[in-house]
Structure 1
């Protein structure tokens, strides 16, 4: 199981309704940012308001000390940049941080949300974003409270700062009451911040492990049911194939040439379908729907089997009269084996044909 290399924390809150000393709150937020950087956690910010700016300021200062400014400037992949910025289209060019001018590659600002109102996409980002592993909440108002409830419903780890005015205190009390089997961390003082961030990271790692294990179990269940479904197709085609062979031998002398020819033709299609059934059971790499593979295999088996069988049915003077059972059985079973092999490789041939068909317009140009 491969765990994520970096976990991202959504930064939610504001100083808009703060009654306490704003200077203390700003210093506290900068310390939060520094501790997030020290814990090697990425951050996701939604607006460049005062609260987010303080978090980013502390984060970048600490990051430069840990990794060095030159190393930060060399980050190439935008998804690996430690600061992910989300904003709506009309805010493009307006949402920015002072640190971004000197450290542009520490920020990913290329994901604007194509909508005019910021509040709805903000909540949707929390709900849909797979990049968010946890949430940090400080102060804030009604929007912060709503975002916190969404995060709680999603089961995201939440660190709610309770040392300042705002709805984060309510959220912290709610989480502390709901905590089972552990003491929810208190973060009212700077000395508790490091412990709180460490707890948040541990919860993110724990949740990631649980999520990946759950996904692994779901994939295993889906694979099991898919394999069962494929095995049913193979079982039906095998039964039908053996039935055709049995009918050929049982009624060879009774039904005559036309009926034997009909059984041969149906048997070729079934043999091709059986070959395709064997392939989809053994090979998991095929991306075709099982029934489609069976149909393609059946058609391939019928065509290739007839190409093999027709020259044997035609003599120099026209259609050959059926001879003894041994010779006719030899022709029939040889054609069945050929049709089976054609069905076995039909997916590969079909994919190559589609690939060549797609490339043909380019070659013609």
Structure 2
């Protein structure tokens, strides 16, 4: 019963097999291999236009280099207060960005509110006394397991575009978001105004594989040097590319994400049936459960793994009752229905 993170799962067989196959023989390094060329072509096909893609080993470096590339050091990235780039990157965007500033924005369900974004932009004094607003960064799916709709992305993109800002999407769980939306990747990115995407494969099942995707290749000028300078150009690059090739082949990435999402819904439905609905809507593969202290103790004793959680703001009208806690449960491609059902039985033994 491991719901600590989708990072705790292993690697699907097709991706492991691809790594093993790439291990045969010799190949040029630093992205000059056939695997990388095929993945770059596949990403352009997937997004229905020519893109510039740069493979990197971690989500932190994908987000940080992307934001550093889109914003000058004296610039500002506007992001949600509960976003991963703000809460979980240990200052990496500011470090790689040479001092760029993250501006936190509130918003329900971990989503940036267009009205709040507009108001915050209006309060920036302008050069030289204020940082230059340069990028709006959204997380898809969000850190609270919700998903931006296409119209919500488009509304933020319109505000960004009207002020000559770039729109970046942190897609560490991009597969889960696309599986939830049921649309083509192009519809959820550049067709709604996204300029750059951190396309995560690691949380979706890969060993260590992320991609920085620019939907206008001109925006990527100089990125190859930035990636190298940032220590993120892997010499045996084919092993990252081989993972991505297998991840995307025959829509494996979506099959894995659909399973993870389905397990989260199963968990959410069970909690709701027991009278403890999740704190936020379950739209991807994260469930934020309210558990009594007794239930938490029973689950820990049974070996269940998950994390306590705190958020800046709870939904209006919701609170954590006395004697209870708020916990994050994350499902993955490897989550079994039996583990979900066992968790529910232990958490609520008197419920049907």
- Bigger RCO (CA 8 Å, 6+ sep): 2
Normalising to structure 2: TM-score of the pair? 0.27
More strand by percentage: 2
Normalising to structure 1: TM-score of the pair? 0.26
More helix by percentage: 1
